[in-house]
Homo-oligomer: A and B are copies of this chain.
Amino acid sequence: MEILKTKAKMQAWSAARKRQGKTICFVPTMGYLHAGHVSLLEKGKPLCDELVLSIFVNPTQFGPNEDLDAYPRDIDNDLALAEAAGTTAVFLPDNTEMYGENYQTRVALDHLPHHLCGKSRPVHFGGVATVVTKLFNIVMPDVAVFGKKDFQQLRVIRQLTEDLDFNIRIVGGDIVREPDGLAMSSRNAYLTPEQRKSALCLSQAIDIAKTQIAGGATDVIAIRDKMTDHINGFDHTAIDYIEFCDPVTLDEVETIGGQVVLALAVKVGKSRLIDNALIDPPQ
């Protein structure tokens, strides 16, 4: 496994392999890898000849009051997990390598960022779209794998890949959960033991909605009220949003008529946790 710290070395590494006719699968991350990231590497491994992981805590996707400085880091463990999962190269740049002094170019989407997490994180998806555009040009992959836990991010990436004509296939990786249902997240590391118990409210609220919809419920307000009551029954929780959306446009729906994505964000202590599920109404 090679570790490449500059854009020039990463591009040269990829270009050399492409000249040999090899294909490249790419898994971009902000590091502090957990079983969810490992599942993305494992999903990508059989898809191409080479498997590239990037680790970069991208400052431009954090707002001024967010947790950039506190974002957890553990490079040694990341590299061990990456190697064990069959990663062949790790791109590990620092901030000055990614954003030079005169840096001024931004990639933005008109509609998708104005839903869900974008409402409370107004700079987030512009930062994501920009850094992913850069990473795609640096790694030059044939396939890129993104987790479905960040459902809105995955939609943004699919749209930007299509709109900007990247010749890259985007693959979504399933959410990986702890045995009790909590979705894996680097931010789970912030939770105290007591908050860890409260963090279960997200997956449990999704289960409540699934049960309601399976039983024929179609009114989003009524379903959301039940979810809200459940989450508010836990200590240290503050709901950011609970929304039922069209899975492509992310426009909110008021009545369950076809497949929806149910997405929610809840602050548990200082950690803002997200979870989601695609739900089909009963046939």
Which residues of A pack against B, CB within 8 Å? 7, 11, 15, 18-19, 21, 100, 102-112, 129, 133-134, 137-138, 140, 159-160, 162-167, 248-249
Contact in complex: B11, A167 (CB < 8 Å): yes
A102 contact set on B, CB distance < 8 A: 159, 248-249
Residue of B nearest to A111 (CB): B104
CB distance from A258 to the nearest CB of B (A): 18
Sort A-B residue pairs by CB-CB distance and give the 4 closest, nearest first.
A105-B163, A104-B110, A137-B165, A134-B165
Residues of B within 8 A of A249 (CB): 102
Q: How far is the CA of A22 from the CA of B11 in the complex (A)?
A: 17
**What are 18 A-B pairs at a CB distance below 8 A?**
A7-B165, A18-B18, A19-B21, A100-B162, A100-B163, A102-B159, A104-B109, A104-B111, A105-B109, A105-B110, A105-B129, A106-B107, A106-B108, A106-B110, A133-B164, A134-B163, A137-B165, A140-B167
Known: A102-B159, A159-B102, A159-B104. Is A164-B109 also a contact (CB below 8 A)? no
Q: Closest chain B residue to A110 by CB distance?
A: B104
Alpha-carbon separation in the docked complex, A42 to B53 (Å): 41
- Given A107-B105, A109-B104, A112-B104, CB of A138 within 8 Å of CB of B163: no
For the complex, give the distance between the alpha carbons of A100 and B106 in Å: 21
Chain B: CB-nearest residue to A19: B21
Distance (Å) between the CB of A56 and the closest chain B CB? 12
- Which B residues are CB-close (under 8 A) to A134? 163-165
Residues of B within 8 A of A248 (CB): 102
Q: A105-B108, A106-B108, A106-B110 are in contact. List 13 more A-B contacts (CB 8 A).
A: A7-B165, A11-B165, A11-B167, A100-B162, A105-B110, A105-B159, A106-B109, A107-B133, A134-B164, A137-B166, A137-B167, A138-B165, A140-B167
Residues of B contacting A159 in the complex (Cβ-Cβ under 8 angstroms): 102, 104-105
Q: Give every chain B residue within 8 A of A138 (Cβ-Cβ).
A: 165
